[in-house]
Structures are given as structure tokens and as C-alpha cells.
Amino acid sequence: MANLREVSVIGIGMSRFAKQPEVGIFDLTQAPVLEALEDAGVARERVQAAYCGSVFGGSGIGQKVLKGIGMSGIPILNVENACSSGSSAFREAWLAVASGMVDVALAFGTEKLTALGGGAFPLSEEDIEADQGVLMPAVYAMRARRHMAEYGTTIEQLAKIAVKNHRNSVHNPRAQYRREYTLEEVLNSRMIADPLTLLHCCPNSDGAAAVVVAATEVGERFHGKPVKVRASVLQSGLFKNDFRDMTKSDLSYRAAGAAYEMAGLGPQDVDVAEVHDAFTIGELMYYEALGFCLPGEGGRLIDAGATDIGGRIPVNPSGGLLSKGHPVGATGLAQIVEIVGQLRGTCGPRQVAGARIGLTHCTGGGVAGFDHIACTIHVFER
Amino acid sequence: MESESAQLVGGSCTICGKVFFPRFKVCPGCASHEPMAEVRLSRRGRLYSYSVIHVNAPGFKAPYAVGYVDLPEGPRLFGHLDGWQDGPIPLDSPVEIYAGPIGKDRNGEELISVRFRPLPPNSASKGGA
């Protein structure tokens, strides 16, 4: 690999995640950008490039947001990569700094899903399966049914993931849900795509998040506690028209392998992770892909409480997508905001004690013949 | 067009031999530009997984079931599934493939596409074209 500079996160900001149709997308997004700049101690003139993740924000969303806070005339790139849009924007910012092109870059993401009118998330047009009525919950439901059949995973084990993440977000003031749910409430909520009920699925949300990165040698002059980026990986799905093992996300396995290699670390080194739990079965499958347990043993991992705060490998202390919410373009950046907070030790009652290495995993995009279209994994160290 | 006799036709790459449904102009397996040969696909396959959808998608009336079926020639088919009202269908069950209405397209016209009908577990999986 080319000589890349070490990059650090020096500033973070995040809006509340919620259904907030009354808040315009510019206000929603500008506030966390300003928060991240202030957190970094960086004047806006120091930001040399900006990357904006959004799926439904429309043409020029990044420029439209930034012009309102006196940031124009710098290179701004709008990034659309389905649910990985925000984390892909972060990767572009990382790459701009790592390559030596700029010293300070901004990544932000935004989404107003309430503007779409609710219901299951719309999949892309011009897709052979979307045109025939498939929905994202049904894709994950088919994975769940197969995982249950092959490994004996139970619906209760899946429901425990929702219970855990809702328990965590009680302590996250920016989360969409902030109450605990019992196992029975998850199991008995309205059926969406059998066997997944409503509380196995993340909500539609409005929200935005922002992160400032800088070359570590430069960043130390700004924020007192820079968090280093040890790995940044983006992978795309491999097209297959025939048999695919839907219990194993081959894309996430591949991205995880690349991320651990780049970081020079293994799954046993990770102290805390934010994992793409758009659906409970997703978090369980990604435990396995990220190497937190062996393939097929995700159910036992949740049963053992290993992914609770205080467990062997806490996952989604923020509440995850299931409870914090999933404004798609902002999601990957909000995961990074949480992990940087965890590594700084500023997460209050949901803090993972002594966390030193953190990981974020964000994947998505429902297109026929793909596991997903994209997967991003980032590894951080304080 | 709803029919028991409708025939799915896939494409077989004349270079690498892989079978695709639908056909591609360029082989996704080996990137060959040679025109694919027509292959008549089996009318039977095995149910890999399925889900009953209980929320309405535009043009589709819930509840309805969708699933993936693996064909002996290789391709995995997406389609709508019958028989779920009678209780859980064991995965890997043999299914019969036919053409039938599944919902409405973007113009509100009836959409005819692939449907799966579960067969008794001991049915032969091969079937004929």
C-alpha cells in the first residue's frame, strides 16, 4: 500500500435522532457540523474538503447545508452508498487526509426519512426483486429463517438483541427510543415480515452527524484527545445469480478480514463495537462475520450476555440502529461519533469501562444478486 | 398468461458454461461478450428460505409470501410463494414453479411473474422442462 499518513478523529457532533418532520434538513444538519468543528477546536476556514453522505437528500445536499454556515468554495463531494453512505463519506475524508492531499477534512451525513411518508424503506427501482415486492425486512427475515433452521437459533435469541439495544439507549439522550422493552413486547409486537416483528426492525428516523478528521501530526494541535483511525475499509458486494449462503454475510466477512489486517489487530482486541443492526438478525450475523464468535454461534453469544455493556465484547452501547434510529445517510457517522465518545470515555452511564480499541461496521443496499451493495468497517484507537 | 405451461428461459455462457436467469449480454461470471445460449429451466426447485410480508408495498397486497428457490441448473429464483397459509413450510421443500399474478406494476397493470407451489416432501426435485 502507498505511504498513508496516520489520521485522527478530532471532532464529533450529532443531532437527536427522531421523527422530527418539523425540523428542516438544513437546520438538522448544520447544528452537528458546527458542534463537530467546535469540538475539534477548528475554525471553519481550516477545513479543506468536505464529504456528505445522504441517500434521499438530493443533488448538491452537501453544498446546500454548508453554504448556510459560511463554508463554500472548498471541494465538496456528495456520497450515496445506501446505508453505508455516511461511513463511505467518512472513508473519503480519511483518504483525503491519509493521502496527504489535505490536513483537515469534514465528513457529515444527513437524512430526513419522515419526508418519505413512512412505511418500509423504499428499495431501488429498476431492480428485478424490488419490482416484485421484496422489502428489506423480508430479506433479513429470510436470513433469519435460514439461520434458525441451520443453527437452531431461536426467535427469543434474536429478540434479546432488541431488548439489549433498547436497554442501552435509555442512557443515550440523542436516541429515538429511550425506554426498555421486554422480551415479550418484542415478540408480541406487530408482525412485519415473518418471523420478524416490528421491534426486530429499526425505525425510520430523521437525523444528522458529523466528524472532523485531521492528520495526527496536525490534529494534536487542535483536540486534546485525538482518536486514531487504525483501519478504513470499504468493500462492495460480489454479484451472484445462484446459490448464496444467506446465513453468512460474505461481504461483511471480507470487509472484516481486510479491516483486521489493515489495523494489525484481531477480533479479540476489540473493546467495543457499533454494528449494523437494522434488524436483530443482522446484528447476530455480523457478530459472526466480525469474528466475535464462531459461525452459527451468534445466538449463544447473546444468551451469554457477552455483547452487553460490561460483557466480553459490548455491541451497540448507543442503542444501535434498532433503538437510536436509522437516518440512513447519518447512520455510519453516528456510529463513529459513539465509538469516539467511548474511546474518549465520555459516554456516561453507557460507557464501556477502559475501552481502547473500537470498531464500526455499516453495510446495506438491497439489490438482487448481492449480499449488500456496500460494507464499511473502521477501527479506532485512543 | 397465467399458466402451468409457461417456460422460464435462462442463458448459458458459451465460454464458462454458467447458467443465468435472466440472461445477460455480458457474462457476469467470465465477462465474455459471446451471446448466451438459451436454456430451458426446470419447473421444479428447492425452497431456500421465505418470509410472509405483513406490510403493504406499493402494488402488493399484504399478507403475501416471497422466497428464494434454487434450480438444478444453478440459478436462484425470487418469486411469490403459495401454501404458507396452511402452516410453516419446511426449508428445502420441493416446489413447483409456475407463472401467475403477484401484484400490480408501477402503471397499475396486473403483474404476472414467478410463483412457487410447495410439493409434498417426497416429490422428486428434478422435474422436467
pLDDT score at B124 = 53
Is pLDDT above 80 for B121?
no
pLDDT score at A287 = 98
Domain ranges of chain B: 42-118
Residue A261 lies inside a defined structural domain of this protein: yes
Is pLDDT above 70 for B111?
yes
Is pLDDT above 50 for B89?
yes
Percent of chain A whose predicted confidence (pLDDT) is above 70 = 98
Nearest of A348, A320, A356 to residue A335 by alpha carbon = A320
Instruction: Give the CA radius of gyration of chain A.
Output: 19
Give this complex's ipTM: 0.94
A182 and A150 both lie in a single domain = yes
As for how many domains chain A has, the answer is 2
Nearest of B47, B78, B73, B48 to residue B129 by alpha carbon = B73
Q: Which residues in chain A touch residue B45, judged by CB atoms under 8 angstroms apart?
A: none
A241 and A299 both lie in a single domain = yes
CATH of the domain at A282: 3.40.47.10
Is pLDDT above 50 for B1?
no
Residue A24 lies inside a defined structural domain of this protein: yes
Nearest of B41, B66, B43 to residue B53 by alpha carbon = B66
- Quick check: is A83 catalytic? yes
Nearest of A320, A251, A235 to residue A290 by alpha carbon = A251
Note the pTM of the prediction, 2 decimals. Answer: 0.96
Give the model's confidence band at B2: pLDDT under 50 very low, under 70 low, under 90 confident, else very high: low
Contact: A241, B76; criterion CB under 8 Å: yes
Residue A66 lies inside a defined structural domain of this protein: yes
Contact: A138, B51; criterion CB under 8 Å: yes
Domain that holds residue A50: 7-115+205-226
Contact: B78, A128; criterion CB under 8 Å: yes
Residue A335 lies inside a defined structural domain of this protein: yes
In the set A200, A276, A326, A372, the catalytic residue is A326
Q: How far apart, in whole angstroms, are the C-alpha atoms of residue B54 and residue A194?
A: 8
- Quick check: is A372 catalytic? no
Question: What cell does A103 get?
Answer: 490536513
pLDDT score at B58 = 86
pLDDT score at B128 = 41
Q: Which amino acid is at A126?
A: E
Q: Which residues in chain A touch residue B102, judged by CB atoms under 8 angstroms apart?
A: 132-133
Nearest to B28 among A138, A141, A239 (CB): A239
- pLDDT tens-place values along chain A, 382 residues long: 668 999 999 999 999 999 999 999 999 999 999 999 999 999 999 999 999 999 999 999 999 999 999 999 999 999 999 999 999 999 999 999 999 999 999 999 999 999 988 777 767 667 889 889 899 999 999 999 999 999 999 999 999 999 999 999 999 999 999 999 999 999 999 999 999 999 999 999 999 999 999 999 887 677 668 999 999 999 999 999 999 999 999 999 999 999 999 999 999 999 999 999 999 999 999 999 999 999 999 999 999 999 999 999 999 999 999 999 999 999 999 999 999 999 999 999 999 999 999 999 999 998 899 999 999 999 999 9
pLDDT score at A3 = 86
Mean pLDDT of all residues in chain B?
Answer: 91
Mark which residues 81-120 of B lie under 8 Å from A by CB. 91, 102-103, 105, 111, 113-114
Residue A123 lies inside a defined structural domain of this protein: no
pLDDT score at A374 = 97
Residue A344: partners with Cβ closer than 8 Å, 6 or more residues away: A225, A227, A382
pLDDT score at A366 = 87
Chain A contact present for B72, CB below 8 A: no
Residue A236 lies inside a defined structural domain of this protein: yes
The SS3 call for residue A127 is coil
For B42-118, give the CATH class.
mainly beta
Distances from the Cα of A207 to the Cα of A9, A123, A377, B24, angstroms:
20, 20, 21, 40
Q: Residue ranges of the alpha helices (H) in B1-129? A: none
Count of Cβ atoms closer than 10 Å to residue A346 Cβ = 11
Q: What is the mean pLDDT of residues B84-97?
A: 97
Residue A210 lies inside a defined structural domain of this protein: yes
**Start-to-end Cα distance in chain B:** 18
A143 and A34 both lie in a single domain = no
Contact: A190, B54; criterion CB under 8 Å: yes
Contact B89, B46 (CB under 8 A): no
Nearest of A214, A202, A140 to residue A175 by alpha carbon = A202
Residue A122 lies inside a defined structural domain of this protein: no
- Test mutation, A121, A124, A125, A145, chain B, max B CBs within 10 A: A145
In sequence order, the β-bridge partners of residue B112 are B101
3-state helix, strand, coil in chain B (%, to 5): 0, 45, 55
Q: Which residues in chain B touch residue A193, judged by CB atoms under 8 angstroms apart?
A: 51-55
